[in-house]
Amino acid sequence: MASLASISTRLRGNLGNQLLAFVFRGLSVLLGFLISYYVGRTFGAEGSGHYALITQTGMLFSMLVLGGMDFAVVKEYSAAPASGRQAHRGSIWRLVGFIGLSNLGFMLMFAMLPRSLTLEPIGLKPEPIAVALIGAIMLGRSYSRLTAAFLRSQGGNLASQIVELVLIPLIVLAAIAALGFASVETLLIATVAAGACAALLGIERSLNRTATGPDTLRVGVRQLLRAGLPMWGLGVALNLADWYSVAIVSSLGSVADAGVFRMASLVGNMLSFGVAGTMGVFAAHAARLWHNQDRAGLGRAARRTMLLNLAMVGVPAIIISLLAPWILGIIGPEFVAGTDALRLLMIGQLSYAIFSPASQILAITGNANRNLVLVLTTTALFMAGAPLLYLAMGGAGVALAVSLWMLSRNLVQYVMLRRFVGLDCLTGRDLGPAPNPGTDTP
């Protein structure tokens, strides 16, 4: 009975939240794959490339505008439930307004630039509708990511997963089933509408978890900007690499080639759904442990998360590598050309699964600046090497560049965690306070 009670308690706690995140990430990947399958089967590789370039650009821009504030929201607002308080409603309203104005200002500047410097280099036609679609996708994603982060910080993991992961593709698939689409642009408009629904729901659910009064936790926008700035480079670098990979293939090859590569990336990234889900929960849990100065607990949580990630990725990576031609062929025969790229991407997915807790802990423990320097350095090397590898190996060369980028970054993050924090995310051991800790050490 005692063991059953212990299991029940863990399922209601952090482990349960991680399993919930795993389920919703899996559902999100499934829904996203169904959309990609529809685009590939209906509009071919070129349509798939066009859809990917618009949506990826909008998502990249949302990361540029957020400035790492989604991570800062998790870090700073996690102090509210840890201290038995609620977040101040006015603080959230100011944050919502700031993000809206930031999105508007960014898109006005982007719209004023010559199309020869913005859309044409990545293979998009210089049409106003492309700019409008990118801006609308950016706005919806900015709010859905930000509000999902706040909901996670307050323990609202179910609502967080729905807002960030499930609602948008679910609405898009419902629109596909009910309407069907004659062009990629109309499908993109449905994607914009779905993003608006997710944003509104996220704002409403977030405000519902706030209160007014002197005993509430107030976090200013400037405070969030300062806390999020180091993570801004990290978030942008990660999304930039995803976007840049597709853009390089489109620029040096064609939009159809970009569609093939993007489909291989989508299949390869299916493995990361569980990892991303567990890491979203782990970030909030780790922040609470660090606030409570529980180094030993943080080490154990990192090891458990690493093992869970590896269990989700290891065997599927082997299966996907073996069945790569068949899997891509289901979407269409022209996508089989991405087989080598898909297999090479598995290397990066495995390293991400094993070492991702190190990156989160580095940021939480005041080592975000060190993490930022590493990410920017490796990303710059990736951006320089990817075009050269494409010219030598085609799409497979870009996939190799992606995996080498992820592997090198993750290995260095693991070493940094041991040296600057004194934790080993592979063994879970607390090695003792480091001689050169970050600014937030307990």
Q: What is the mean pLDDT of residues 251-271?
A: 88
Q: What is the mean pLDDT of residues 329-353?
A: 90
* Residue 389 DSSP class: H
- Res. 14: pLDDT tops 60: no
Model confidence over 91-124: pLDDT tens digits?
Answer: 889 999 999 999 999 999 998 888 777 888 888 8
Q: How confident is the model at residue 436 (pLDDT cuts 50, 70, 90)?
A: low
Strand partners, 217: 87
- Residue 39 tokens read as 């685009």
Q: What is the mean pLDDT of the chain?
A: 84
Q: Is 84 left (phi over 0), alpha (psi -120 to 50) or beta?
A: left
CA 57, 192, 265: angle at the middle one, nearest 5? 45
First to last CA, the chain: 37
State whether residue 145 is helix, strand or coil: helix
Model confidence over 379-423: pLDDT tens digits?
Answer: 889 999 999 999 999 999 999 999 999 889 888 988 888 888 888
**At residue 88, what are phi and psi to the nearest 5 degrees?**
-75, 130
Model confidence over 21-38: pLDDT tens digits?
Answer: 667 777 887 888 899 889
Q: How confident is the model at residue 11 (pLDDT cuts 50, 70, 90)?
A: very low
Tell me how far apart the alpha carbons of residues 111 and 109 are, in angstroms, rounded to a whole number: 5
In the block, tokens 């949302």 appear at: 62
Model confidence over 104-113: pLDDT tens digits?
Answer: 999 999 988 8
Q: How confident is the model at residue 274 (pLDDT cuts 50, 70, 90)?
A: low
Q: Of 143, 144, 161, nearest to 152 (Cα)?
A: 161
Question: What does the pLDDT read at residue 132?
Answer: 93
